[in-house]
Structure 1
Amino acid sequence: MVSIVLVHGTGVRGAAYDGLVAQVTANLAGRVPELRVVRCPWGDAHGARLNAGGRSLPAEARPGSSPAPEEDAAEVSGWAVLEADPYAELRLLARDARTRGYTPTARTAVARTRAEVTALDGAALAGLLGAHGWEPADLDAARQVALDGLDLLPDEAAVDPEELRRAAARLLAAATVAHADTRWGPGGSPADGDALDALVAALLAHWGAPGGELGVVSTLTKPLWLPLARGFEHTASAVLRGNRLKQTTAGTPVIGDILRYQVRGEEVRAAVAAAVHSVPGPVVVLAHSLGGVASVDLLASQDLRDKVTALVTVGSQAPFFYELDALWSTRYGTPLPPTFPAWWNAFDPRDPLAYVGEDVFGADRVTDVRFHTRRPLLRAHSAYWGHRPFYAWLAGTVL
């Protein structure tokens, strides 16, 4: 009799675990005749949940809350569009110009704006830039981005001169933030909407064109720009904000399990240990994702050589946690104890949540086994369970 303790990963509850047990059992039945799959559904008792029903969310994010005013939504989403594509508004201006044709009298608008952007010196606005966490070099880098964007408009494009100036100023502001983000790191530069408005106003004043509409949704392009802004807001920000409780509830078992394990991990490890001791004879621990982290922690902190003959982790983050020095049982640089069982670590290079262990733990302590499930990104993270070569390897090498 071969016993496998099946330890699931994040987000698995109830029927999902039952389905996983059935799938593993069915795929190994013909390969391992005398097989016992030992259940360890730790998520039901020790997984994360919104214990207060989501009361930690702002009131505006709960069902029945009032959406943000339309003008605010359009402005915020407009900046989001420029962040994703700094040329978005110039593309709309170019499209609008094509519908109206080209006129010789309009030549000066594009040429003048191009000259003003070319002559722009970040040092002239150093005080304003510094107050918002930016540097003159950020604006100087944004200048080239703006010049590239202006190339979308031929010199004879029939555009309103002041409208083009405002669009160029907003492009420069968005590109300045983007360049500053590379210095500030993943969190980005600490600038709010008022800072962006101030930079746009300062640029217009620097060009001798103070005043005017400084919002992202400008007068002439509003018929074209507003549907784009509304569309972006509806499909991204508004959806997340208006359904934040639903989204949080859906995401809690996945993200929450990881967070909860970091502070309540002893409960999950105890559940794995109980499953290991629940059957007679030796067992193989087969653990997916966060379940692999918990299993590594358990076997590194307890001597279970008499019970556990092998550990198989699948799409696990244990090597990543170890490299971060975030593995509960073992500080980075400390080797696994001699009591640790034979360990195989299955991974698919396309699985963004899978990590390899040989180069961090040592090839003498863990063996990485590569699989190609032919599934993209997060689909690959669970595709091991439907991958017949995985079961052929598991039965032939480990079991």
Structure 2
Amino acid sequence: MRFLFVHGTGVRRERHDRLFAQVRERLTARFPGAAVDSCYWGDRFGATLGAGGRSVPGLRPGPQDAPDPADAETAAWALLFADPLCELRVLAEAGWQGADGGGGGGYGGGGEDPFAMPGVRSAGARVLQLLEGLPPEPPRTGDELGALLHGTGLAPGFAAALDSTARSAEAARAAERATGEPQARELATALARAVTAAALAAAGEEADCTGAERDRLVELLTARLGGDGRVPGARVAAVLGRLALRATTQPLLNARRGSLTVGATPVLGDILRYQSRGRELREFLHESIIAEPGPTVLIGHSLGGIALVDLLTLAAARGEAVPGAELLVTVGSQAPFLYELGALTALEPGAKLPYGFPRWLNVYDRHDVLAYLAGPVFPGDPRVSDHEVRSRQPFPACHSAYWKQDSLYERIEQAVAEAEIG
């Protein structure tokens, strides 16, 4: 009996040798008389940047890669998408340095007016009242705000964005501290940005909104709250913009896109290359399997499992089952998911595994987002079974943690016995 290990995506020689050493040690301990081989394909069939990465902006920094002032704005909106109330929260906690909103003198750090008359609503409270009175469903026609909301895909989430902002403790506290008109105008801008961010976050990928359209929404909302939408005037937005520039990932991506792309090329590139030129790898695997006579247990990790499923399915469908392939073990494999998507080369969605396809043990870890179940998508096929292992590791560590799990090898041993391979 022989075991043949087929590694997954992104693996190159050094990483392969470490993984295979683990696999060989544990299989040899359980099957002393078996041969344990590996089919290393990373260098020959893996992806590389054929033009040296010339297609990647930022790989070769130049004058055009100098910091862009717009980056701070983009980063600030990324922060607002994640937490639409963040600017209001700062105003609620820090308030304004002075009654004029300009940062000097005035009523002290808290922003409250010690001379305010009891029972008289603050300027900020009036702004909040205007927000609460905005129509949750502006008409599509005859109203620029409504037309813009519908045109950008934000209309479905606008009512909830209004309500969540108006009812928030952050808005109430910030309104309480906005005692003067300059402060109220800044509050109006912060509220408008919060509502817009909440609507954008709710729409997610369904949003079809440019930066200019987003800014126009803020202007229109600010004007309806008594502010001046054409004058940003929000010191807190400027501060958070600088903070976001440091805290969010976009500036990092801008600065390091080249190196990040090069680093990701083996993992993503191998998958894309296989989808377009997988035949070469499948032929290589076929040659490796039949190179030695006798029964073979095929163990494929990740993309290696996809290639083996394709190879065995195509061969069986031609009536030419791969000689010696008695058991297939896929580990952390996406083959079942690709089958559901209609992206598996060898099998259309809904089609059954052909006669001549071997027994298939599919091993997964529920925390591995690259591992899928085979049994439910091939219901009633006695050849297909799933087995769960738990490495207690988060993704992506769990995707490579299978090979040190005793339960994996115990289940392989059981599958070999069930297939009566000896």
TM-score of the superposition, structure 1-length normalised? Answer: 0.90
Counterpart in the other structure of 2:289: 276
Read off the aligned partner of 2:71 and give its amino acid letter. Answer: A
CA distance in 2, matches of 1:6, 1:67: 44
Q: How far apart are residue 289 of structure 1 and its match?
A: 0.7
8 A Cα contact 1:356 1:368, kept in partner: yes
CA distance in 1, matches of 2:240, 2:307: 50
Query: Is 1:56 paired with 2:72?
Result: no
Secondary structure at the counterpart of residue 251 of structure 2: helix
Give the aligned CA root-mean-square deviation in angstroms. Answer: 2.2
Read off the aligned partner of 2:150 and give its amino acid letter. Answer: G
Q: How far apart are residue 138 of structure 1 and its match?
A: 3.2
8 A Cα contact 1:109 1:161, kept in partner: yes
Counterpart in the other structure of 1:184: none
CA distance in 2, matches of 1:330, 1:224: 55
After alignment, is 157-166 or 104-113 more displaced? Answer: 104-113
Of structures 1 and 2, the larger Rg is shown by: 2
8 A Cα contact 1:62 1:243, kept in partner: no
CA distance in 2, matches of 1:175, 1:74: 19
After alignment, is 349-358 or 115-124 more displaced? Answer: 115-124
Counterpart in the other structure of 1:192: 210
Counterpart in the other structure of 2:70: 72
Query: Is 1:327 paired with 2:350?
Result: no
Secondary structure at the counterpart of residue 54 of structure 2: coil
Read off the aligned partner of 1:164 and give its amino acid letter. Answer: L
Q: How far apart are residue 323 of structure 1 and its match?
A: 0.8
Q: How far apart are residue 202 of structure 1 and its match?
A: 1.2
Counterpart in the other structure of 1:379: 397
After alignment, is 285-294 or 146-155 more displaced? Answer: 146-155
Identity %: 40
Q: How far apart are residue 275 of structure 1 and its match?
A: 1.1
8 A Cα contact 1:292 1:314, kept in partner: yes
After alignment, is 276-285 or 160-169 more displaced? Answer: 276-285
Secondary structure at the counterpart of residue 377 of structure 1: coil
Secondary structure at the counterpart of residue 243 of structure 1: helix
Q: How far apart are residue 211 of structure 1 and its match?
A: 4.4
User: For 1:336-359, what per-residue CA distance to the aligned partner results, in whole angstroms no more than 9, with x for missing partners?
Assistant: 111101111111111111111111
Aligned CA distance change for structure 1 residues 232 and 269 (closer, same or farther; 3 Å): same
8 A Cα contact 1:290 1:317, kept in partner: yes
Q: How far apart are residue 254 of structure 1 and its match?
A: 0.9
User: For 1:176-229, what per-residue CA distance to the aligned partner results, in whole angstroms no more than 9, with x for missing partners?
Assistant: 222333xxxxx3312111111111111122334334433xxx543257424422
CA distance in 1, matches of 2:291, 2:261: 35
User: For 1:61-86, what per-residue CA distance to the aligned partner results, in whole angstroms no more than 9, with x for missing partners?
Assistant: 53345445453111000100000000
CA distance in 2, matches of 1:238, 1:208: 34
Tell me which of 127, 132, 137 is aligned to 2:152. Answer: 132
Which residues in structure 2 correspond to 1:1-399 (within 5 Å)? 2-58=1-57, 60=58, 62-64=60-62, 66-67=64-65, 69-97=67-95, 99-100=109-110, 102-103=112-113, 105=116, 108-121=122-135, 122-123=138-139, 124=143, 125-135=145-155, 137-149=156-168, 151-154=170-173, 156-158=176-178, 160-181=183-204, 187-214=205-232, 218-221=233-236, 224-233=239-248, 236-302=249-315, 303-362=320-379, 363-398=381-416
Read off the aligned partner of 2:165 and give its amino acid letter. Answer: A
User: For 1:346-380, what per-residue CA distance to the aligned partner results, in whole angstroms no more than 9, with x for missing partners?
Assistant: 11111111111111112423111111112112211
User: For 1:10-35, what per-residue CA distance to the aligned partner results, in whole angstroms no more than 9, with x for missing partners?
Assistant: 11011111112211111122211123
CA distance in 2, matches of 1:197, 1:152: 21
Read off the aligned partner of 2:275 and give its amino acid letter. Answer: Q
8 A Cα contact 1:349 1:370, kept in partner: yes
Read off the aligned partner of 2:310 and give its amino acid letter. Answer: D
* Number of equivalenced pairs: 386
CA distance in 2, matches of 1:85, 1:118: 20
Read off the aligned partner of 1:129 and give its amino acid letter. Answer: L
User: For 1:270-302, what per-residue CA distance to the aligned partner results, in whole angstroms no more than 9, with x for missing partners?
Assistant: 121111012222211100111111100000011
Aligned CA distance change for structure 1 residues 259 and 38 (closer, same or farther; 3 Å): same
Aligned CA distance change for structure 1 residues 173 and 152 (closer, same or farther; 3 Å): closer
